[in-house]
Structure 1
Amino acid sequence: MPTSIYNLFDEPWIPIRWAPDASGDRPEQVGLRDLLLRSGDITALAVADPPAHSALLRILYALTARVTRLDEAGPDDWGMRRVEILETGQLPRGGVDSYITDHRRRFFLSDPEGRRPWMQDARLAEQCDADKTAGVNKLIVTRPAGNTHAWFRHGSDAQPDLATASEAVLSLLVWHYYGPSGRCSAREVNGVKTASTTAGPLRTALSYHPEGSSLFETLLAGLVQPEQTVRREDDLCPWEWDELTDPDKAPPTPTGPCSRLTACSQHALLLVPDENNPELVRDAYITWAYRNGRIPRDDNYLIWQISQQNNRYPRPADSRRALWRDLDALLLKEPPGMAQPQRPRVFEYASEVSEELRVRALGFEQEGQAKDTQFVDASTPPVLGFAEDEVHEAAPAVGRMRQLGEMYGRRLERAVRRAWAEYTNDPKADGDTWVSEAGARYWPGAEAEFWERFRGLDRTGRVPNAGFDQSAARAAFLRLATDSYETVTASITRTQRGAKAVSHARTELFGGVRKKTASSTPAA
């Protein structure tokens, strides 16, 4: 059977969750054609790995922009055109069918005749050493490869389990968006062999996405209005290029939303399907895409911050940080903070689709090079109706709640560190064990307190400060911090030295003892 038969528009590879009232067949996986045509009957994607979910959403945003012709700012008002599509309850069948007809040949998993398999570079079969491929275990990010530890499953590079097409394609996307920097498989171009690559555009970052009651709403809410200068014939996705880019030249700079969503990879990959079954992948080439230069990091789904060195960088994924702590940075136009956070641009437009949108945070806690720590996947209740654009009073109240919760979290950490240092009589003692235990007790309670007060906010605009009681919120977070502090330090209060250390350090929960200044010192 020829391997080119597996086409991603037609074959089922995307796991989804159907709406309870969806009619017709409801398979667990669908191809791109059915996903686009039946997005109104689909509740959400059911992709298990958050970085794959995040990467696939970007591909779907680009396809949605193409089939709805929302990939350009005009003609007519862009927002009104999106609302008109929203009111139909489905993506336009004519747009979907037309796009598939024009581009179906570029969506084969393997394409030995046309030499343009989807999101792959067929030149790697000649430019890389066939005896030193990455292997299927390296391709699938949740598998152990080489000498790495086995976390999710056991496996062997000598006899790996072949990957399904769904596993392989989703992992292909993870590499394109979250791939590491550093040494990779050698690739020889124009007589020069090199083996070093740049990190993927989303590596280490946390990605924020508006999420509706259906995948149809989610995809429309995820679109960002293009600049007036964007032209679809210039703003191309990789599968729309006439020719593959030259790896010896600097990468092309994205010119609009579709290229920014899909054409920022620094990695080149080529899947090797099984000869006997086109639905399985037995090997993969993974290497660098461009020898020189780097595609500018820019993404409409990240919170961008300014470092102390005045460099712009995306807020990193942190598996220990709950999503509510980022909420004001998603709702406010100019969130508070020394890092000058800028909310993801997508939230300037998302609430026009629905005020009942949730926020989904997807990411991968990683280092810039090889180390991967943990997936991050979190969601909020419906929150975008509280955006500053919609309710002027509510969003600042959300920000103040977040500030109070974080302030008492920081004070709690200082308090337990000080108590431990005074008890051990060692100023250099870090007290990390107590800090971890105190945080594990405080942050879940603070999150519950935050959402309880969030649900009580008024968004009619008729109640001052959205009904937020700052004094009561302050007292609630202080009580949580105090309870955590007393529980963690209880074991040393049985001794005089321990009780004294705990008593002294408790002042940190209230801001610490203010240092006297020369002006406040009584005259002799």
Structure 2
Amino acid sequence: MRPTQHIFEEPLIPVRWTSHAESERGAEQLPTEIGVLELLLRSHDIECLAIAEAPAHSALLRVLYALTSRVTGLDEARNGPDDWLERREEILADGALPEDRITAYAETYRDRFFLFDTSPDGRPWMQDPRLVQQCDAASTAGVNKLVVTRPSGNNHAWWKHHLDTRPGPLSASEALLNLLTWHYYGPSGRCSSREVNGAKSASTTAGPLRSALSYHPEGSTLFETLLAGLVPPEETVDPQQDRCPWEWDELPDPEGPPAALAGPCSRLTAASAHALLLVPDEDDPRLVRDAYITWAYRKGRGARPQDDYLIWQMSKQGNVYPRPADSQRALWRDVDALLLIDPPGVAQPRRPRVFEWAVELPLDLSVHALGFEQDGQAKDTQFVDSVTPPVLDFAEKRSARSKPAVGRLRAMGERFGNRLDRALRRAWRTYVNDPKDSAEAWAQEGAARYWPAAETEFWNRFRALDRTGTALDGGLDAGTARTVFLSLAIRAFDEVTTSVTRTQRGARAVEEARVELFGDPRPRKPAKGSAA
């Protein structure tokens, strides 16, 4: 079968066009999916990627960052970061990515961007063709395993029901996005057996972004987003050594160490611990009927690779780890960890390195958080996808006065949310006379009432902060803000507990717990087993 589904040429990437691009075309409909070549050439006419699956969106952004670095020459900074910043601003002023360099790059690596390539010397994109010989063809993973939103084995169904005995076909576009999801968010543990040099193994380590939440600066167009998402390489980085998987001369040795991550391009694209191969349908080369999924390196990778789009923080044991994706945690609660150079918190959070450089652009940038709430192995819970209003004007590097304002505003919202949680749990435990009860039902109902209202209040007050850098504390009226957050907590507390206040026991339990909303001044006994 000849190579098919060229990623640069075939319409495989869902996009949303800007309003000015649509108006220029008039009644003519713009395509909802395009190839990577058109995406790069017309990034200034595209508002954003239109990918519903957050991990696939996050993964593809990293690939596009690497491609943008290559075609702009921003993949090296031998004269230092100041020169790199000047070159990036020149490209921003041009209003588009350089057409000649995009087409030249696409031609140079044309044979490496076919999604399906079964020819003897074929190198299908981001895949390992050797798996046909090294894995058991009678025990492949199948398309249900490839698609993270489909049930496989005993896993639950997300949106549609598919049976392992009758797996539905998969379009090339869906296969591409799920291929990327596996490379970045794939699980650890048992996988398909792979035999190399007579030795079989069937276990793999987790993908580099497994369970993590990544944060991306976002502009009004994809062009702005891609430039804002770049980080200058170290001065010692050589683009000839800092290579993406499709640029490798040879496929890596599965028994050897993983490919060295020599700079930002390889860190963005070459940190996968999984090897995959898509099997196209024989009757319709636009569809995928099967897939191999196994380990990429027998030794695997050690520590999670450094990533410039994660919030890194410290565990109680002194280990550095990325802030995990939590579908129940709203993005505004991380705002000060994104904007401040030295964010507050016992976990000593360190903001994503990309924001240090994004604020250097003269753009109104939002933050797009993308992740996948997962455990380390096979459990997938929920996607996390959230966007802030334009916030980088409040970054501490632009306005030092925003540090106390943003931090205090976020802390107030968090404080009264935590007090509400304690108050509701205390009220329930007193009411049922069981100090060991988790009181989860009341706590969850209270959270559902408080946090959305607190988020609205946070953004309303955030937008009203001083943008000139002249007002004391950023113009934050801390007293009024505290009163409003407290009133939101009181309202949620009353709404949750009202059903039991008709009895004397219930009314007493509720009133005794209400003091938690105001900060109970009484000393508490240390929890059993905790340090005094």
Q: TM-score by structure 1 length?
A: 0.96
The alpha carbon displacement at 1:193 in A equals 0.5
Map Cα deviations across residues 299-329 of structure 1 (whole Å, 9 max, x no partner): 0000001000111100000000000000000
Distance in 2 between the 1:302 and 1:334 partners? 15
The one-letter code of the counterpart of 1:74 is R
**Residue number among 123, 127, 130 corresponding to 2:130 in the alignment:** 123
Q: What does residue 62 of structure 1 align with? A: 66
Distance in 2 between the 1:127 and 1:294 partners? 21
Q: What does residue 164 of structure 1 align with? A: 171
Q: What does residue 366 of structure 2 align with? A: 358
Q: What does residue 490 of structure 1 align with? A: 498
The alpha carbon displacement at 1:276 in A equals 2.5
The alpha carbon displacement at 1:142 in A equals 1.3
The one-letter code of the counterpart of 1:435 is A
The one-letter code of the counterpart of 1:18 is W
**Residue number among 84, 108, 115 corresponding to 1:78 in the alignment:** 84
Distance in 1 between the 2:79 and 2:48 partners? 30
Distance in 1 between the 2:362 and 2:133 partners? 50
Distance in 2 between the 1:354 and 1:140 partners? 39
| Contact 1:364–1:376 (CA under 8 A) maintained in structure 2 | yes
The one-letter code of the counterpart of 1:270 is L
Distance in 2 between the 1:9 and 1:295 partners? 33
**Residue number among 478, 503, 507 corresponding to 2:511 in the alignment:** 503
Q: What does residue 19 of structure 2 align with? A: 20
Q: What does residue 402 of structure 1 align with? A: 410
Distance in 2 between the 1:333 and 1:348 partners? 8
Secondary structure at 2:187 match in 1: coil
The one-letter code of the counterpart of 1:448 is T
Q: What does residue 3 of structure 2 align with? A: 4
Distance in 1 between the 2:199 and 2:157 partners? 36
Structure 2: gaps of 5 or more residues: 526-532
Map Cα deviations across residues 192-224 of structure 1 (whole Å, 9 max, x no partner): 101000000001000100110000000000000
| Contact 1:331–1:343 (CA under 8 A) maintained in structure 2 | yes
1:216 partnered with 2:223: yes
Q: What does residue 528 of structure 2 align with? A: none
**Residue number among 189, 196, 203 corresponding to 1:189 in the alignment:** 196
Distance in 2 between the 1:275 and 1:353 partners? 49
1:257 partnered with 2:264: yes
In 2 relative to 1, CA 322–28 (structure 1 residues): closer, same or farther, beyond 3 Å? same
Distance in 2 between the 1:295 and 1:33 partners? 35
1:45 partnered with 2:49: yes
1:226 partnered with 2:233: yes
| Contact 2:141–2:293 (CA under 8 A) maintained in structure 1 | yes
Q: What does residue 278 of structure 1 align with? A: 285
The alpha carbon displacement at 1:516 in A equals 10
In 2 relative to 1, CA 516–60 (structure 1 residues): closer, same or farther, beyond 3 Å? closer
| Contact 1:266–1:294 (CA under 8 A) maintained in structure 2 | yes
Distance in 2 between the 1:93 and 1:121 partners? 31
Q: Which moved more, 1:137-146 or 1:121-130?
A: 137-146
How many residues are treated as equivalent by the alignment?
516
1:101 partnered with 2:124: no
Distance in 2 between the 1:301 and 1:387 partners? 16
Map Cα deviations across residues 67-113 of structure 1 (whole Å, 9 max, x no partner): 00000013570000000000111000111011111111100112223
Q: What does residue 34 of structure 2 align with? A: 30
The one-letter code of the counterpart of 1:118 is W
Distance in 2 between the 1:516 and 1:363 partners? 37
Distance in 2 between the 1:296 and 1:81 partners? 33
| Contact 2:2–2:117 (CA under 8 A) maintained in structure 1 | yes
**Residue number among 428, 431, 436 corresponding to 2:444 in the alignment:** 436
Structure 1: gaps of 5 or more residues: 518-524
Distance in 1 between the 2:524 and 2:473 partners? 35
Q: Which moved more, 1:241-250 or 1:196-205?
A: 241-250
| Contact 2:367–2:390 (CA under 8 A) maintained in structure 1 | yes
Q: What does residue 521 of structure 1 align with? A: none
The one-letter code of the counterpart of 1:189 is V
The one-letter code of the counterpart of 2:398 is E
Alignment map for 1:127-138 (pairs within 5 Å): 127-138=134-145
Q: What does residue 514 of structure 1 align with? A: 522
| Contact 1:4–1:278 (CA under 8 A) maintained in structure 2 | no
The alpha carbon displacement at 1:3 in A equals 4.1
| Contact 2:205–2:300 (CA under 8 A) maintained in structure 1 | no
Distance in 2 between the 1:276 and 1:430 partners? 56
The one-letter code of the counterpart of 1:232 is P
Q: Which moved more, 1:288-297 or 1:42-51?
A: 288-297
| Contact 1:43–1:215 (CA under 8 A) maintained in structure 2 | yes
Q: What does residue 522 of structure 1 align with? A: none
**Residue number among 485, 497, 510 corresponding to 1:477 in the alignment:** 485
Secondary structure at 1:109 match in 2: strand
Q: Percent identity?
A: 63
Distance in 1 between the 2:442 and 2:296 partners? 46
| Contact 1:253–1:296 (CA under 8 A) maintained in structure 2 | no
Map Cα deviations across residues 276-310 of structure 1 (whole Å, 9 max, x no partner): 22211111000001111415421000000100011
The one-letter code of the counterpart of 1:181 is S
